Amino acid sequence: MLLAQQILIYFSETHYSMLNVSKIREDFPILSTRVYGKPLIYLDNAATTQKPRCVVEAERDQYYTANANVHRGIHYLSQQATDMLEQARVRVQRFLNAPSEKEIIFTRGTTEAINLVAASFGQGLKPEDEIIVSEMEHHSDIVPWQMLQSSRGVKIRVIPLRDNGELDLQTYASLFNSKTRLVCCTHVSNVLGTVNPVSEMIAVAHSHGVPFLVDAAQSVPHFKVDVQQLDCDFLAFSGHKVYGPTGIGVLYGRSALLEQMPPWQGGGEMISSVSFDKTVFEGLPYKFEAGTPNYVGSHVLAVALDYVEQLGLDNIAAYEHQLTSYAEERLSAVPGLRIFGKPQGSRGSVVSFLVGDIHHLDMGTLLDRLGVAVRTGHHCAQPIMTHYGVEGMVRASFSFYNTEAEIDALAEGITRVSRMF
């Protein structure tokens, strides 16, 4: 029986109309780890998520039973591995509701997906062409465009961030002109948790004939993302943030745009024919997948998506919203604690904070000694730190396997650390 079928039967038999968190936690062995003699409380899910047994076992099983290079061999194992790769592509297509599996390109992650667009779409840009990004972007959605700025002379225009953690959409609408070629924006801020109204932002961009790239690394794991409903032109996410393996990610691209874009890497897989006189490139999606693909990672990502969808993305979104609201309430009661960003809409599963004058590294280090894993630093979003006039923040980020008891432990740990200063 296929592992995906086993997962489906498991969840149908247990009737998961709502999340049974204690049962779910049994799927994640690492959550029973002890740190410095304390139970692990893992609150760094925005950086990477833990992996359920079915994901780890799927990776093991493919190496044991179906490991062979894809698209090249006529033997049984190669055909089997090829089928699993292409089935994974269709799985991702369904997960995102993309019109065609040809619009799904496997990458190493969100960063590589954005770099692919910058390197390929960017070849059509001219000096003085403009790209719009937001002040809340991850460095992965800033640096590639700055590299184009250096190599091709394009200009970057920035959507400003309001102090409440929301983007200034009025200014955004004023940034467009005849030289605007692309808008790139995160769906959910990895620091502030702000859920941007990207559907509305995309409509504005399209009214000017400008394509829109969505960084969905922090949205895909937490709620349903439908590329046709959003009407986006590109969308990127990483497997390891959605309970899958590292080293695999996805770029969705509208086929009309991808057809026009040149390959960004050359080698095997992405060619139809090669001679010393001429190379003819493959069609979509293969012209963007040079070399041996991560055929194991793509299959395991598909298993992770099965796991998430069997839990129910609506169930996940509702539970994590409740958990994040509880965290805001508990942390706001800690004397001297400042939460950054107060978006009027719902906050993603992230709360970033500082306590008085306590350095973020000191807070994170001491919380770790209490078994609480949080992230400290600039979170690869230094412009946000500059906006708020801080060097770094402490970030707690939540998953469906976290509990209110763990948030209580976080709040108590912060209070205990604060008393030491």
CATH no. for residue 294? 3.40.640.10
CB 350 within 8 A of CB 189: yes
Angle between helices 76-96 and 295-311 (to 10 degrees): 40
Across the chain, which distance is largest between two alpha carbons, in Å? 73
CA distances from 233 to 46, 95, 209, 230, 306 (A): 24, 16, 11, 9, 25
Residues assigned a catalytic role = 380
Same domain for 242 and 333, yes or no, is no
Are residue 35 and residue 70 in the same domain, yes or no? no
The model carries a pTM of 0.94
Residues 157 and 242 both lie in one domain: yes
The verdict on 251 and 332 lying in the same domain is no
261 and 401 belong to one structural domain: no
According to the model, what pLDDT value does residue 346 have?
77
Distances (CA, A) of 71 to 80, 85, 100, 185, 299: 10, 9, 20, 35, 15
Q: What CATH number has the domain bearing residue 386?
A: 3.90.1150.10
Asked if residue 186 and residue 147 are part of one domain, the reply reads yes
Among 309, 331, 347, the domain boundary falls at 309
Q: pLDDT (tens digit, 0 to 9) for every residue of the chain, 421 residues total?
A: 344 343 333 333 333 348 999 999 999 999 999 999 999 999 999 999 999 999 999 999 999 999 999 998 899 999 999 999 999 999 999 999 999 999 999 999 999 999 999 999 999 999 999 999 999 999 999 999 999 999 999 999 999 999 999 999 999 999 999 999 999 999 999 999 999 999 999 999 999 999 999 999 999 999 999 999 999 999 999 999 999 999 999 999 999 999 999 999 999 888 889 999 999 988 999 999 999 999 999 999 999 999 999 999 999 999 999 999 999 999 999 999 999 998 887 789 999 999 999 999 999 999 999 999 999 999 999 999 999 999 999 999 999 999 999 999 999 999 999 999 9
- Interstrand relation of 249-253 and 350-355 (parallel, antiparallel or unpaired): unpaired
100 shares its domain with 201: yes
Are 29 and 94 within one domain?
no
Residue numbers of the domain that contains 157:
60-309
- Structural domain total, the chain: 2
